[in-house]
Amino acid sequence: MNVHPPAARPAHAPRRRQAPAVLILAALASACQAPPPGGWTGYAEGDYVRVAAPLGGALVALPVQAGQTVAAGAPLFTLESQSEAAARDEAAARAAASLATARNADSGRRADEIAVTRAQLAQARSAATLARSELARQQQLVTQGFISPARLDDVQAAATQSAARVAELEAALKVAELPGRPDERAAARATAQAAEQVLAQSRWRLEQKTQRAPDTAGPGTQVADTYYRVGEWVPAGAPVVSLLPPGAIKARFWVAEAELGTLQPGQAVRLQCDGCGAPIAARITRIATQPEYTPPVIYSNAQRAKLVFMVEARPETPADAQRLKPGQPLDVRRAS
């Protein structure tokens, strides 16, 4: 699952129902006033989790919509996966064939083939026994002068040939009972392992066509927006759904250069907003290392054209964070 950083905004998304800068600018109509005494003005910002697939494809299912809550592991969207499924099946067949070849290399020949060789060996032994008997008989006849020595040479050759045939079949039987050669067996096992890895890759690609809410999405995670409709083509890596986990909201405000030395990470501050009730306790988590002129959203006469640094603070509890809404204007003060 590809998760884009919160600050990244995909330029290729066909639609954006959210326009944080526009909403914040409209909400901060009162920001032209000077910041509160001893404090600063800012707004709430959400740390969105943008879920994308590493592979492209047509969007075939989008079971979620903006505003609903999802749990970890809940399906978010599915892309067309016919090609990936076919590749997975092909890889599975090749892996099965490679495994069968490896197993065949580890074993000898089939039992029926060995039985044939044993039968041939039995016949050869019988023929060799007969040839030896004939040789002994012919030797007696030669001694008695009934046949010529030339006839004995023919019988002697036949007996030698029968003995050689027995030796040949005995060797063939031993070879048939042996497994493949070590190098052949190692090559077969390596091929089988490679086929298994190709199958694993094919399965991964198929799984990536269905994206689910990440494990970090706790109870109450909200679908902030969806960027495509069913039937549209989604490029590889393009976010389809953005999530806002509970408590993933921070305050962002700007501090003049002269006041920067009085702040440090971990320092406690208080956040106030219209309709939020009691002030929200928060702590500074980041102080920008680069200065800027005039905050990008908050335009106030008191701050305009002054060198300022962006500061971020997070509520101390998720419950307090849920009291804030992205784009909501805030007043920030030091904690007393």
Average pLDDT, the chain: 81
Give 37's pLDDT tier (boundaries 50, 70, 90): low
* Mean pLDDT, residues 218-237: 93
Query: pLDDT, tens digit, for every residue of 291-313?
Result: 876 655 554 555 444 678 889 99
Cα dihedral sign, 180-184-187-191: negative
Report the pLDDT value the prediction gives residue 222, as an integer from 0 to 100. 92
Q: Kindly give the interhelix angle for 111-144 and 149-177, rounded to the nearest 10 degrees.
A: 160
8 A C-beta contact, residue 275 and residue 266: no
User: How do strand 280-287 and strand 268-272 relate by DSSP bridges?
Assistant: antiparallel
- Can you say how many angstroms the Cα of residue 271 is from the centroid of all Cα atoms in its chain? 40
Report the pLDDT value the prediction gives residue 218, as an integer from 0 to 100. 76
Query: pLDDT, tens digit, for every residue of 152-174?
Result: 777 788 888 888 888 887 777 77
Q: Read off the pTM.
A: 0.64
How far apart are the C-alpha atoms of 298 and 314, rounded to whole Å?
19
Predicted confidence (pLDDT) at residue 284 exceeds the cutoff of 80? yes
Report the pLDDT value the prediction gives residue 109, as an integer from 0 to 100. 62
Report the pLDDT value the prediction gives residue 35, as an integer from 0 to 100. 55
Report the pLDDT value the prediction gives residue 27, as an integer from 0 to 100. 42
User: How do strand 39-46 and strand 249-256 relate by DSSP bridges?
Assistant: antiparallel
Query: pLDDT, tens digit, for every residue of 124-148?
Result: 888 888 888 877 877 777 776 666 6
Query: pLDDT, tens digit, for every residue of 254-275?
Result: 998 888 888 999 999 999 988 8
Element (H, E) at 212: strand 210-212
Which range has the worst mean pLDDT, 122-131, 277-286, 304-313, 326-335?
304-313
Predicted confidence (pLDDT) at residue 221 exceeds the cutoff of 70? yes
- On the CB side of 51, CA atoms within 13 Å amount to 31
Domains and CATH numbers, the chain: 33-47+248-336 (2.40.30.170), 108-178 (1.10.287)
Backbone phi, then psi, for 160, in 5-degree steps? -65, -40
